[in-house]
């Protein structure tokens, strides 16, 4: 499946009040995320876009899945709300968030997760998370 494009001047789907070009697009184009929250936001937008390459590149090698399931029916992502960004030390952080989505004509689902991130070679990567 191909990536769903976002216009550079459109509001970034991550929830920040900035255009995509000034928010998550630089990270999608290869810039390093300044912190775990920025990486979390850019990964959410990558799910909106179905950008498997970015998601794999920003996922820790020890937990990265082989298949992201983008060939299966996909949700329509409706919004991201960052609840907490906890810096544990210089190279470890956690981000708690709620992402809203809908499958088909179903009800809105609120997915809650506390994600763990690590910085390796100056780049933040997603390790795993607790959904609940």
25 compared with 66, residue with greater pLDDT: 25
Query: Where are the extended beta strands (E) located within 2-131?
Result: 76-89, 92-102, 108-120, 123-131
> In the chain, where are the structural domains located?
20-131
Residue range 20-131, CATH number: 3.10.450.50
* pLDDT score at 2: 63
Cα angle: 113, vertex 116, 117; to 5 degrees: 135
Instruction: Give yes or no for residue 46 having a pLDDT over 90.
Output: yes
Instruction: Give yes or no for residue 95 having a pLDDT over 80.
Output: yes
- Token look-up 């912190």 returns 35
Instruction: Give yes or no for residue 32 having a pLDDT over 80.
Output: yes
What are the C-alpha distances in Å from 90 to residues 6, 33, 83, 96, 124?
32, 14, 20, 18, 11
Instruction: Give yes or no for residue 98 having a pLDDT over 70.
Output: yes
Lowest mean pLDDT, pick from 30-39, 61-70, 86-95: 61-70
Instruction: Give yes or no for residue 73 having a pLDDT over 90.
Output: no
């Amino acid at each position: 499946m191909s990536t769903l494009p976002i216009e550079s001047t459109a509001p970034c789907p991550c929830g920040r009040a900035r255009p995509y070009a000034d928010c998550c697009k630089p990270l999608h184009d290869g810039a390093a995320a300044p912190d775990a929250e920025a990486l979390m936001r850019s990964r959410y937008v990558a799910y909106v876009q179905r950008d498997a390459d970015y998601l794999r590149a920003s996922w820790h090698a020890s937990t990265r899945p082989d298949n992201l399931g983008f060939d299966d029916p996909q949700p329509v992502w409706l919004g991201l709300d960052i609840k907490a960004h906890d810096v544990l030390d210089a190279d470890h952080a956690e981000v708690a968030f709620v992402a809203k989505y809908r499958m088909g004509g179903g009800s809105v689902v609120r997915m809650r997760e506390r994600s763990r991130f690590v910085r390796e070679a100056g780049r933040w990567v997603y390790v795993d998370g607790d959904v609940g």
